[in-house]
Amino acid sequence: MLDTHSGIVESIDLSDKDSNITKGRDCFTVFYKRLERKYYDRMPLTPIDHNFIILKKTYKEFWLEHQHELGHYFRFLYNIVRFIKESEHEKSLYIRLI
At 77 the pLDDT is: 94
Q: Is 30 exposed, middle or buried (0-12, 13-18, 19+ CB in 10 A)?
A: middle
At 19 the pLDDT is: 84
pLDDT tens digits, 3-55? 999 999 999 999 888 888 999 999 999 999 999 999 988 877 666 667 788 88
At 49 the pLDDT is: 63
At 61 the pLDDT is: 95
Chain centroid to Cα 95, Å, comes to 17
Burial 9-22 (b: 16+ CB within 10 A, else e): beebeeeeeeeeeb
